[in-house]
Amino acid sequence: MEILSPKLKEMLTDTNDKVINDFWKEISQKGTPLVEDVNLKGKKLVTFLYKEVEPVDNVVVVLGPAGLDFERNKMLKLPSTNIWFRSYLINGNPNFQYLLSPNDPLTYPIDYLPDYKKSAEREAGFIVDPLNKYPYPTNEPVVSTVGVNRGDLNLKHKPLEGTYEEFSIWSKILKNERKVSLYIPQGTNVNNGVSILTVLDGELNPDYVPVLNVIDQLVGSKQIRPIVVALVGNVDEREKEMGCNIQFTNFLSDELISYITKEKNLKIKGDNCICGFSFGGLCALFTSVNRTEIYKNALIVSTPLYWSPKDFEESEYLSWYISDKKTGESNVYMECGEMENHSEFQHYFGGTSNLLTNRHLRNVLLAKGYKHQYHEYNGGHDFIHWGNSLKRGLLYFYENK
How far, in Å, CA of 299 to CA of 382, rounded?
Answer: 16
Q: Are 307 and 386 found together in one domain?
A: yes
Number of domains in the chain: 2
Please say which residue of 112, 144, 176 terminates a domain. Answer: 144
- pLDDT for res 110: 61
- pLDDT for res 1: 58
Q: Are 283 and 347 found together in one domain?
A: yes
- Is residue 218 domain-resident? yes
Phi, psi of 204 (to 5 degrees): -65, -25
Please say which residue of 115, 144, 173 terminates a domain. Answer: 144
Please say which residue of 144, 165, 195 terminates a domain. Answer: 144
DSSP string for residues in 278-314: TTHHHHHHHHHHH-TTT--EEEEES--TT---TT-SS
Q: Are 166 and 104 found together in one domain?
A: no
How far, in Å, CA of 331 to CA of 130, rounded?
Answer: 43
- Is residue 222 domain-resident? yes
205: domain CATH number is 3.40.50.1820
CB neighbourhood size of 248 (10 A) = 22
Cβ burial 11-33 (10 Å sphere, 16+ → b, else e):
beeeeeeeebeebeeebeeeebb
Judged on CB neighbours under 10 Å (0-12, 13-18, 19+), 176 is middle
Q: Are 92 and 138 found together in one domain?
A: yes
Per-residue tens of pLDDT for the chain, all 401 residues: 578 898 998 888 888 889 999 999 999 999 999 999 888 888 899 999 999 999 999 999 999 999 888 889 999 999 889 999 999 999 888 889 999 999 999 887 666 666 667 777 888 899 999 999 999 988 889 999 998 877 776 777 789 999 999 999 999 999 999 999 999 999 998 888 899 999 999 999 999 999 999 999 999 999 999 999 999 999 988 989 999 999 999 999 999 999 999 999 999 988 999 999 999 999 999 999 999 999 999 999 999 999 999 899 899 999 999 999 999 999 999 999 999 998 776 666 677 899 999 999 999 999 999 999 999 999 999 999 999 999 999 999 999 98
Q: Are 162 and 133 found together in one domain?
A: no
Helices 280-290, 317-324: axis angle to 10 degrees equals: 10
- Is residue 1 domain-resident? no
pTM beyond 0.75: yes
Q: Are 352 and 319 in contact (CB under 8 A)?
A: no
Q: Are 20 and 72 found together in one domain?
A: yes
Tell me: cis bond preceding 185? Omega within 30 of 0 counts: no
How far, in Å, CA of 293 to CA of 207, rounded?
Answer: 32
Pairing of strands 76-77, 83-91: antiparallel
- Is residue 246 domain-resident? yes
- Is residue 99 domain-resident? yes
- Is residue 23 domain-resident? yes
Smallest CA-to-CA distance from 215 within 187, 243, 248, 180 is with 187
CB neighbourhood size of 121 (10 A) = 11
Q: Are 47 and 36 in contact (CB under 8 A)?
A: yes
- Is residue 107 domain-resident? yes
Domain that holds residue 256: 153-398
- pLDDT for res 111: 65
Q: Are 157 and 140 found together in one domain?
A: no
